Amino acid sequence: MEALIPVINKLQDVFNTVGADIIQLPQIVVVGTQSSGKSSVLESLVGRDLLPRGTGIVTRRPLILQLVHIDADDRRKTNEENGIDGEEWGKFLHTKNKVYTDFEEIRHEIEAETERISGNNKGISDEPIHLKIFSPHVVNLTLVDLPGITKVPVGDQPKDIEMQIRELILKYISNPNSIILAVTAANTDMATSEALKVAREVDPDGRRTLAVVTKLDLMDAGTDAMDVLMGRVIPVKLGIIGVVNRSQLDINQRKSVADSIRDEYGFLQKKYPSLANRNGTKYLARTLNRLLMHHIRDCLPELKTRINVLAAQYQSLLNGYGEPVDDKSATLLQLITKFAAEYCHTIEGTAKYIETAELCGGARICYIFHETFGRTLESVDPLGGLSTIDVLTAIRNATGPRPALFVPEVSFELLVKRQVKRLEEPSLRCVELVHEEMQRIIQHCSNYSTQELLRFPKLHDAIVEVVTSLLRKRLPVTNEMVHNLVAIELAYINTKHPDFADACGLMNNNIEEQRRNRMRDLPSAVPRDKAGAGGPQSAAAADPAEGGTGNWRGMLRRGEEGAMPYPASPHKGHAVNLLDVPVPVSRKLSAREQRDCEVIERLIKSYFLIVRKNIQDSVPKAVMHFLVNHVKDCLQSELVGQLYKTALLNDLLTESEDMAQRRNEAADMLQALQKASQVIAEIRETHMW
C-alpha cells in the first residue's frame, strides 16, 4: 500500500503538465491562523528549512508540496542524470527541469514566485506553486500550505483580505478527496479554534479532519494540554497530535530540524510521558502517511471513473475540433456536402440531432401550414367588414337608373371579390413565416449538425450568405405565385361550381318556402292568384286597393314608406339641386330589401367558403414547390457553384485564431487523462485495492 502515494504523485505530475486541476486528487490541506505554526509543522515533516519566514501574512499563494521518499539507487541515478551531488533536492513546476540542492535557494524562489503573481503588497493569489522535494528522510506525502486565517487587514492588504483567504481555504478543503490538517496553537483556546471551525463547515462529521496542536512548550506555567490531546475538549475522529515547534530564536541561531525533533522528543517524555509515543513530529508524519494511503485507496475507484468520463468528454471535444486540414479541396467539398445534406434532413425530419425544446425545420413548416395558416384562414369572417347597407348599396348601384325586378348578379360578384381579396394577406404571411423558418434552419445546422463549420468562421459566413441569398431569390417568386392563386380566384367567379350550385338550390327552396308562408298569411278577401303573382301587374293591381289610382294621398303615403322623402318645394326664383336631398343614415328595410340582402349574404358566404378551402389547400402546395423543395433541390449545386473555387480555398478554410490552440489543449488533456488511466490500471493489476 506504500506505493499508493507515489501513484498520486505521478497523477499530480501528469495533470501539472497541462496546468489543469479538473481532477481532485487526494492530498493533505494545512489550515490554521497566522503564526499558528503551520510552516514549522511543514518544515518538520520535510526536515529542512525551506519556507519563507516573517511577520504577518507570509504564505500568500497555495504551496502544493510533494514529498517523495527516494532510496540510494534513485538518488544515484538522479545525480548522474542532472549532474548534481546531494542526497536531497527540490524541483519547481514553473522552472521546469531545474534542480535545487540548496534549500535556501528554494526559499528565495518561493518568495520571488509569490511576488511575481501576488505582488509585494501582502495580497494573495489562488494560483498555486508546485514544489517537489526528493529525500531519503521523508515519507511520501502531498501537502498544501495555505495562507493563514486573518481577521484584520494590515499594511496594503485589501479590505476584504479575510474573505479572500476564507474562500481560498474553502476551495481546497471542499475537495472530498482531501484530508484537513487543522493547526492550532496550544497557548490559545481550543474551543475557539478558527481552523477547526472552518473544517467543520465542509466536514461536519470530522471523517477527514486531523487536529495538530503546536507550541506545547509555550503554554502558561501550571497548565498543560493533556485534556486537549486526549480529546476531552474538542473530540476529533482522526485524532489530535501535539508537536513542539522551533522558536524564532532557534531559527535565528540556525538550529537544525533534526536537533529540534530530538529536543521535542525529550520534552514530550518529560511533560507528557504517557502520550509521548502518540505525539511529536515523527508520529505526525507516520500518521499522515497512513491516513493518506488509506484515503487514496478509498478514492481510487471513484477517481478512475472520473478520469474515464473526462477522457471520453475530451475525446468527443477533440473530434469536434477536427484534424488539421491536409487536402483543402476535399475538405471544402465534404463540408459543403454535409451542410447541404443536414439542411435537407432537418426539413425532412431525419436529422441526426433532433431538437427537443421547440419545433424546428419541417415540423415547424407543417405547423405553419396546418395550424398557424389554417386557423388564420378559418378566423376570417366571410362577411367581415360588410354591412347590410353595403350590400343594399351594391344592389342599387348594380341596377342603374331602372328599378330591378330581380337581385342583380353583378352585385354578388362585386361583393364576393371584395371578400375573397381578404385571403391574400394571410397567404403572403404564410410564405413569410416559412421563409423565416428556412432561415432559422441555417443556424440550427451550424450549431448542432455540422460543428466542423465552427472551425472555419469564414466558410460558415460564406455558406450562410449563399443560402440566405438563395432564399431571398425564391421569396418574390413564391409571393408572386401565391398572389396569382388569389388573382385566379378573383378572375372568374364560378357560379356553376358544384358546391355553390347546391347552396343556390337550397336557398331558392328557402325563398320559395318563405313566399308560400306569406301567401298563406294574406287576408281571404285578396285573390291569391293576383296577390301571389309577384309580377308588376299584381303590384299595379294592388295600388288602387291601397290608395286608388291617381290618389295623391296614396302616392304621398307610398313616398313616406319609401327610401327617400320628397324634397321641399323651392322658393320661387331658386334652382333645385337634387343632390341636396338628405340621405337617411339608417332606416327600416322593406321586406324585399331585407330578402335581397339575405340572399346576397348567403351567396357570398357559400362562395367564400369554397374559395377559402381552395386557398388553404393550394398555398401550402405552392410554398413547398416554389420555395422549400426548390431550395432543397438546388442547395448543393448552389453552394458548390459559389464556393468550390480554387481561389477561395485558403481563405474559406482559415481556422479561427483560438481553434488550433484549443485543439492542442484538448489533445494534451486527453493524453494526460489517458496516462492517468494507465497509471491507475497498473495499480489495479497489482491488486493493491
Digit-coded pLDDT (tens) for 195-211 = 999 999 999 888 889 99
Which of these, 174, 144, 142, lies nearest to 293 by C-alpha position?
Answer: 142
pLDDT at 481 over 50: yes
pLDDT at 18 over 90: no
Contact 216, 267 (CB under 8 A): yes
Q: What are residue 182's DSSP bridge partners? A: 31, 211
CA 4 – CA 139 distance, rounded (Å): 12
Predicted local distance difference test score (pLDDT) of residue 373: 93
pLDDT at 2 over 60: no
**97-124 average pLDDT score:** 84
Predicted local distance difference test score (pLDDT) of residue 637: 92
CA 273 – CA 280 distance, rounded (Å): 12
pLDDT band for position 513 (cuts 50, 70, 90): low
What are the start-end ranges of the H helices in 421-491? 424-444, 457-491
Predicted local distance difference test score (pLDDT) of residue 406: 66
**209-229 average pLDDT score:** 87
Helix, strand, or coil here: 185? strand
pLDDT at 275 over 70: yes
Predicted local distance difference test score (pLDDT) of residue 554: 39
Neighbours of 379 (CB within 10 A): 9
CA 146 – CA 34 distance, rounded (Å): 10
Predicted local distance difference test score (pLDDT) of residue 289: 86
pLDDT at 76 over 80: no
Q: Give the long-range contacts of residues 456-462, CB within 8 A, separation 24 or more.
A: 456/335, 456/652, 456/653, 456/654, 456/655, 456/656, 457/656, 458/651, 458/652, 458/654, 459/332, 459/335, 459/643, 459/652, 459/653, 462/642, 462/643, 462/648, 462/652
Predicted local distance difference test score (pLDDT) of residue 252: 78
φ, ψ (nearest 5 deg) of residue 168: -65, -40
CA 440 – CA 454 distance, rounded (Å): 17
CA 195 – CA 211 distance, rounded (Å): 9
CA 148 – CA 159 distance, rounded (Å): 16
pLDDT band for position 16 (cuts 50, 70, 90): low
Which range has highest mean pLDDT (147-161, 413-427, 445-459, 514-528)?
413-427
Predicted local distance difference test score (pLDDT) of residue 467: 93
Q: Give the range among 472-481, 509-518, 605-614 with minimum mean pLDDT.
A: 509-518
**240-267 average pLDDT score:** 86
CA 275 – CA 268 distance, rounded (Å): 8
What's CA 403's distance to the chain center, in Å?
A: 72
Q: Residue 354: left if φ>0, alpha if ψ -120 to 50, beta else—which one?
A: beta
**122-139 average pLDDT score:** 85
Contact 123, 67 (CB under 8 A): no
Which of these, 531, 505, 9, 41, lies nearest to 284 by C-alpha position?
Answer: 41
Predicted local distance difference test score (pLDDT) of residue 468: 93
Residues of the chain above pLDDT 70, percent: 80
**186-201 average pLDDT score:** 88
CA 395 – CA 563 distance, rounded (Å): 14
Predicted local distance difference test score (pLDDT) of residue 538: 40
Q: In what order do the strands lie in the sheet with 99-100?
A: 99-100, 89-92, 129-135, 63-69, 141-145, 27-32, 178-185, 209-214, 240-242
pLDDT band for position 565 (cuts 50, 70, 90): very low
User: Residues with Cβ < 8 Å from 36, sequence gap 6 or more?
Assistant: 148, 183, 184, 185, 188, 195, 214
CA 158 – CA 118 distance, rounded (Å): 12
Strand 129-135 with 63-69, pairing: parallel
Q: Give the range among 220-224, 226-230, 529-533 with minimum mean pLDDT.
A: 529-533
Predicted local distance difference test score (pLDDT) of residue 505: 61
Which of these, 169, 143, 193, lies nearest to 39 by C-alpha position?
Answer: 143
Digit-coded pLDDT (tens) for 340-398 = 998 999 888 887 767 667 788 888 999 999 999 999 999 988 888 888 788 778 777 77
Q: What are residue 178's DSSP bridge partners? A: 27
φ, ψ (nearest 5 deg) of residue 100: -110, 120
Q: Could you please report the per-residue DSSP string of 61-126? A: S-EEEEEEE--HHHHHHHHHHHT---S-EEEESTTTT-EE--HHHHHHHHHHHHHHHH-SSS---S
Q: Write down the pTM of the prediction.
A: 0.57
pLDDT at 79 over 80: no
What's CA 567's distance to the chain center, in Å?
A: 77
Cell, residue 484: 396569382
Mean pLDDT of the chain: 79
pLDDT at 563 over 70: no
**Cell numbers 489562488: residue:** 126
Helix, strand, or coil here: 240? strand
pLDDT at 549 over 70: no
Predicted local distance difference test score (pLDDT) of residue 503: 62
Predicted local distance difference test score (pLDDT) of residue 250: 79
What's CA 409's distance to the chain center, in Å?
A: 62
SS3 track for 437-449 = HHHHHHHHHHHHH
**Cell numbers 501528469: residue:** 14
Digit-coded pLDDT (tens) for 136-166 = 888 888 889 998 888 777 766 778 888 989 9
Predicted local distance difference test score (pLDDT) of residue 207: 87
pLDDT at 73 over 50: yes
CA 174 – CA 520 distance, rounded (Å): 99
Predicted local distance difference test score (pLDDT) of residue 535: 43
Predicted local distance difference test score (pLDDT) of residue 405: 65
Predicted local distance difference test score (pLDDT) of residue 259: 87
Residues of the chain above pLDDT 90, percent: 23
Cell, residue 150: 486573518
Neighbours of 515 (CB within 10 A): 13
CA 208 – CA 28 distance, rounded (Å): 10
Predicted local distance difference test score (pLDDT) of residue 307: 84
Contact 315, 670 (CB under 8 A): yes
Contact 303, 177 (CB under 8 A): yes
Helices 629-643 and 457-491: angle between axes, nearest 10 degrees: 140
- Greater confidence (261 vs 399) lies with 261
101: exposed, middle or buried (Cβ count in 10 Å: 0-12, 13-18, 19+): middle
CA 225 – CA 247 distance, rounded (Å): 19
Which of these, 114, 115, 9, lies nearest to 65 by C-alpha position?
Answer: 9
Neighbours of 316 (CB within 10 A): 11
Contact 455, 321 (CB under 8 A): yes
Predicted local distance difference test score (pLDDT) of residue 88: 86
**463-485 average pLDDT score:** 94
**555-578 average pLDDT score:** 44
Kindly calculate the radius of gyration of the chain based on its CA atoms and give it in whole angstroms: 48
φ, ψ (nearest 5 deg) of residue 184: -135, 135
